[in-house]
A and B are shown apart, each in its own frame.
Chain A
């Protein structure tokens, strides 16, 4: 069974540009979570999508947005990039509602903003 996949693996942008990150969950999983992990730091919750709807978002500005498609894959968009947006962006998927939710993480996208 394929795990969570993310693309691209690395992304280099300049300040003010937009970045689009993609995530494909494990087959059968309906929830997708996005996290930001700055170098050497913990996981900061960004967004949670389930069944195509945004269920919750973390304490990030509106220029961080995303969506979930009918096939449960997801996209994270970061507009007006700033230098401090440089981080590893992790996507995780789970099957929400089972009472035994476990998050399976993808390998991440490393975003560098110059």
Chain B
């Protein structure tokens, strides 16, 4: 079955540093979504990417979808303590269900 991997598993950064998490699927995806889960909370939808090579920005967050629609990345510029949490990617198979990656847990040291 489809597998979605994320690296790194954990990332500790100093406030102000940049952060990137990578998501890789074993199969081609129809779209990919990113979610953030704060400690003790539930996943919250961040963004959806649909087109090959698509790049979207949300303030300090930049999301990319690979040309082959099998990988994606989330980059945060100048992290803040409010960025703390676990970032999940979720790949949607054509006609199938979402498959979530294991997540990257980000901690930001003030």
The interface residues of chain A lying within 8 Å CB-to-CB of B99 are: 45
Asked if A83 is an interface residue, CB under 8 A from chain B, the answer is no
CA distance A5 to B101 in the complex (A): 24
How does the 8 Å CB contact mask read for A60-72 relative to B, with 1 for contact and 0 for none? 0000000000000
B100 touches A42 (CB 8 A): yes
Decide: A105 near B43, CB < 8 A? Known: A42-B88, A43-B88, A100-B48. yes
Asked if A95 is an interface residue, CB under 8 A from chain B, the answer is no
Asked if B58 is an interface residue, CB under 8 A from chain A, the answer is no
- A interface bracket (residues with beta carbon within 8 Å of B): 20 to 34
Asked if B109 is an interface residue, CB under 8 A from chain A, the answer is no
Nearest B residue to A100 by beta-carbon distance? Answer: B48
A105 touches B92 (CB 8 A): no
A103 touches B97 (CB 8 A): no
B35, B41, B97 interface centre (most CB from chain A within 10 Å):
B97
B101 touches A106 (CB 8 A): no
Decide: A42 near B101, CB < 8 A? Known: A103-B33, A103-B90, A105-B42. yes
B98 touches A90 (CB 8 A): no
B43 touches A33 (CB 8 A): no
Q: Shortest Cβ distance from B104 into chain A, in angstroms?
A: 10
B45 touches A104 (CB 8 A): yes
Asked if B102 is an interface residue, CB under 8 A from chain A, the answer is yes
Nearest A residue to B6 by beta-carbon distance? Answer: A42
Asked if A107 is an interface residue, CB under 8 A from chain B, the answer is yes
**Could you list which residues of chain A lie within 8 angstroms of chain B, going by C-beta atoms?**
33, 35, 41-43, 45, 48, 55-56, 90, 92, 99-108
17 A-B residue contacts at CB 8 Å? Answer: A33-B98, A42-B88, A42-B100, A42-B101, A43-B103, A45-B97, A45-B98, A45-B100, A56-B97, A100-B50, A101-B98, A102-B33, A102-B48, A103-B33, A105-B35, A105-B43, A106-B42
